Amino acid sequence: MDAKARNCLLQHKEALERDIKTSYLMDHMISDQVLSLSEEEKIRNEPTQKKRAALLITVLLGKDNNSYISFYNALLHEGYKDLAFLLQKGLPLSSYNGKDPVDGVTSYVKTVLCEGGVPQRPVVFVTRKKLVKSIQEKLYKLNDEPGWVTVYGMAGCGKSVLAAEAVRDHNLLKTCFPEGVHWVSVGQQDKSGLLMKLQNLCTRLDQDGAFSQRLPLNLEEAKDRLRFLMLRKYPRSLLILDDIWDSWVLKAFDSHHQILLTSRDKSVTDAMMGPKYAVPVESGLRKEKGLEILALFVNMKKTDLPEQAHSIVKECKVVGRGHRGILADLLHQWNQPQ
């Protein structure tokens, strides 16, 4: 572990030992392969919560940069945002060693996405590599210039999952968005709801209150504050707006920045300035993907599914429905007595 990370950990050791519960944190670190099962057992055998936390910190101090990042991510995932913020300055983001994990997501990517509020993969995750690659190609085309990438399609077709998956890429983040990503779940909003979304985003972007101690009081002020923060603090970052319904809502987030958005309406960016790229997401689901989803939910290999699985996928009305609806059909049919 480099000196910056180690010193930050030592500086906040007392607060960490006082407040953290180690069990779920260690689960994350074991999953990241930075903590061994024997180390976990040794920590669990300590008689009190404080002693377990103290031993975890001691073990962590003897490890590498990736272990520090894993611990930081675990704090974020388990709701210790204040403690994670204390460790933020010590993050060794340059520690990526060039080795891709099995799912292609590095510790650096996990850190950036956690900080940006990007949703994790769903429990049942089916890859759609061509669509993900298409979104990534459009993001590369923004090339540090203000612009828009719209992922559009009917409700439930997986737009949000695809948008989140597109930014789970080390090279994309390092090359195009080294200052991070910022995810906002928008949805249908009236003016008061939209103002609250903008206020929350501005607070996230200015956590130390360096630019203002007061929340913006109206939409115009919030829009100006957002533009100022994005240009001054995060000029090389990506703003992700999930589930945009109306162009007037989109205008409030127009910060002359790089923006990825999901919407049911391809034309939502028509009135916006700058280059625009669109990625359509079909509503139908091919047979192979239907079988893959069903196999994941019933915890079987696709090749081991019985013949009835093929009939179930065929019977479901997979054209003209979102994937959530298709999935409901698949599971309903599977659970019917045969």
| Neighbour count for residue 4 (Cβ, 10 Å) | 14
Amino acid at site 301: K
**Residues 4, 92: contact at Cβ < 8 Å?**
yes
pTM value surpassing 0.85: no
User: In angstroms, rounded to a whole number, what is the distance separating the alpha carbons of residues 209 and 290?
Assistant: 48
Q: Which two tokens stand for residue 325?
A: 């609806």
Q: Average pLDDT in the 153-171 region?
A: 87
- Architecture of the domain spanning 114-280: 3-Layer(aba) Sandwich (3.40)
Burial class (CB in 10 A: 0-12, 13-18, 19+), 218: exposed
Instruction: For residues 252 and 274, give the distance between their C-alpha atoms in angstroms, rounded to a whole number.
Output: 16
Query: What architecture is domain 3-95?
Result: Orthogonal Bundle (1.10)
Q: What pLDDT digit, counting tens, does each position of 74-133 carry?
A: 888 788 888 888 888 887 754 444 444 445 577 788 888 888 888 877 655 667 788 999
pLDDT band at 296 (very low <50, low <70, confident <90, very high): low
Q: What is the pLDDT of residue 218?
A: 92
Pair 134, 162: CB distance under 8 Å = no
Under the banding of pLDDT at 50, 70 and 90, the label for residue 293 is low
Q: Which amino acid is at 18?
A: R
pLDDT in tens, 175-208: 899 989 999 999 989 999 999 999 999 988 887 7
List Cα–Cα distances, 66 to 7, 56, 94, 220, in angstroms.
Answer: 16, 15, 10, 42
pLDDT tens-digit map of 122-159: 655 667 788 999 999 999 998 778 999 999 988 777 89
For the purposes of burial, counting CB atoms within 10 Å of the CB of 30, is it exposed (0-12), middle (13-18) or buried (19 or more)? middle
For residue 259, the cross-strand partners are 148, 239
Count Cβ atoms below 10 Å from residue 86 Cβ, excluding itself.
17
- Whole-number Å distance between alpha carbons of 281 and 291: 19
Neighbours of 320 (CB within 10 A): 10
pLDDT digits (tens, 9 = 90+) for 38-84: 899 999 999 999 999 999 999 999 998 888 888 888 888 788 888 88
